[in-house]
Amino acid sequence: MILHIDKNMTLGEVQTAFSQLFPFLKIGFFLDRNKDNSLSADEQIHNPKMTVASIRDVDFDGDLQIEATMTAKELESAFWNSYGLDVQLFRRSGNTWLVTKNTDDWTLIQHNEKAREMNTPVENPETPDFREQE
């Protein structure tokens, strides 16, 4: 997948484009306000209407090649190295989005498939009848 990123795009547009390929994953944007290279929940940006230009110092627009075999860490590094964007990958679990920090070495397809499994209802096999037989 090639994800074109330019300064006039909204964060929501970038998130939507990413989620079209990986429907059980999302990227969250952060501002490292205290410059400690550690992203915290209070540094997450929740306004999808903000533009890419408003949260980065790097003035570079272009295409980001995203492969299903990339790890979460590689994806996050690519956003930072190419565009100066702090992102974190999240995996869907029901109505919750889990931070993938402890599984940064998993590929995007592994994360997406795990989330798909966790969000696919299990068919209830017919319960056997356990009544005693005479």
Name the pTM for this structure. 0.84
Say what the pLDDT of residue 42 is.
Answer: 80
Residue 86 near residue 31 (C-beta atoms within 8 A): yes
Per-residue pLDDT reduced to its tens digit, 24-42: 999 999 997 666 666 778 8
pLDDT of 2 strictly over 90: yes
pLDDT of 78 strictly over 90: yes
Task: Report domain extents, the chain.
Answer: 2-118
Residue 71 near residue 105 (C-beta atoms within 8 A): yes
109 contact partners, CB below 8 Å, separation of at least 6: 68, 69
